[in-house]
Structure 1
């Protein structure tokens, strides 16, 4: 069943459509609700997919794209309605940007906070879970910054824009859990807990390094992956300090 006949250059339909003027107020409500809802959903999904876009900027891109797309080829979408929605999106962005600069609470709600992932070669408790990163993804980001083992890392922070900031030791670092080569290609050797060990070992769960002389005990983190040899240079072979 076909719809009503479309009359070309029907200025009433092009600019206002068949909706009553009060529908303009509904557009204000709809745009505001969707804008806030998108921002809330993006804050729930975390920052890992934002790359260098902030949550607010990504909402603007999505909202502008949606509002600008439909009136280009849907004859039943009046231009004034789309123009109002676009203006509201930009206006909301300007208001929120101003509030972000003026209020730390608003900035924290919209942009989130940096999350510490590594402290002195050991994973920070809960850091990976809060950022929706897994261990392999963190290792990949560390390798991209030239890190070969966790002992090199004094601090690693997952920033508000989704980037990873790493502070490394200036001089020769202590041994740590190797991240090179990628574990998918070559996983570190898991030490036999029933065989006495000598030297520095690293927990495969949290990266904690301990000196052992005898049988291996459980790590304080409670992990079950066991221990491997702590290394200074994984590419040169394991060597403790």
Structure 2
């Protein structure tokens, strides 16, 4: 029963020392790898971030994992993340594998029901997004887009023409598209 609450002072010292060094190494490695490593999270980035956390916890708490092995694991994860993001910027095919494409959910005040069903978004959720954007309802929106990172973008019908365009989607003046 005593082992559950306290084993020995060396274990506590190891956690303090290894935890501090591993944390500092992770922060330094992420800083060197660039802002893109932990940019706004999409599903792929979330998996990598969880892997970072799990690896850091294992380094700190498992006496079976030496600091050098743990740091190598962190550097490996960062290197793999860098390779994938580097490749996805240069290859549309790789980008499509690791990044979700934006989806048009509302066009000129009308819901794109097939797209909403595919993305598992309800009309009530879109209305909540419109309220947060300060719009009274669907008729006040030119477009609502579910972005690849899970956030929503809203363009109102009264936006100036330069702000009305929605990159990646055809002309919004044609009414809802049958997805």
Matched, 1:85 2:73: yes
Q: Which residue of 2 aligns with 1:158?
A: 146
Unaligned runs of 5+ in 2: 12-39, 160-174
Specify which structure has the higher proportion of helix.
2
Offset, 1:164: 1.3
Asked if the contact 1:67–1:82 (Cα under 8 Å) also holds between the matched residues in 2, the reply is yes
2:94 pairs with 85, 106, 110, which one?
A: 106
Unaligned runs of 5+ in 1: 10-51, 172-207, 209-241
Which has the higher Rg, Structure 1 or Structure 2?
1
2:110 pairs with 110, 122, 129, which one?
A: 122
How far apart, CA to CA, are the structure 2 residues paired with 1:71 and 1:157? 41
1:60 pairs with 31, 43, 48, which one?
A: 48
Matched, 1:131 2:119: yes
How far apart, CA to CA, are the structure 1 residues paired with 2:105 and 2:153? 10
Offset, 1:148: 0.8
How far apart, CA to CA, are the structure 2 residues paired with 1:98 and 1:132? 30
| Equivalenced residues, count | 125
Offset, 1:114: 0.7
TM-score calculated relative to the size of structure 1: 0.47
Asked if the contact 1:115–1:158 (Cα under 8 Å) also holds between the matched residues in 2, the reply is yes
The answer to which of 78-87 and 103-112 deviates more is 78-87
How far apart, CA to CA, are the structure 2 residues paired with 1:147 and 1:105? 37
TM-score calculated relative to the size of structure 2: 0.62
Q: For each residue in 1:191-220, what CA deviation from the matched residue of structure 2 results, as whole angstroms up to 9, or x when unmatched? A: xxxxxxxxxxxxxxxxx9xxxxxxxxxxxx
Equivalent residue of 1:129, what SS?
Answer: helix
How far apart, CA to CA, are the structure 2 residues paired with 1:134 and 1:128? 7
Asked if the contact 1:56–1:93 (Cα under 8 Å) also holds between the matched residues in 2, the reply is no
1:147 pairs with 129, 135, 138, which one?
A: 135
Q: For each residue in 1:77-112, what CA deviation from the matched residue of structure 2 results, as whole angstroms up to 9, or x when unmatched? A: 222332221111001011001011101121122111
How far apart, CA to CA, are the structure 2 residues paired with 1:129 and 1:86? 38
Specify which structure has the higher proportion of strand.
1
Q: Which has the higher contact order (CA 8 A, sep 6+)?
A: 2
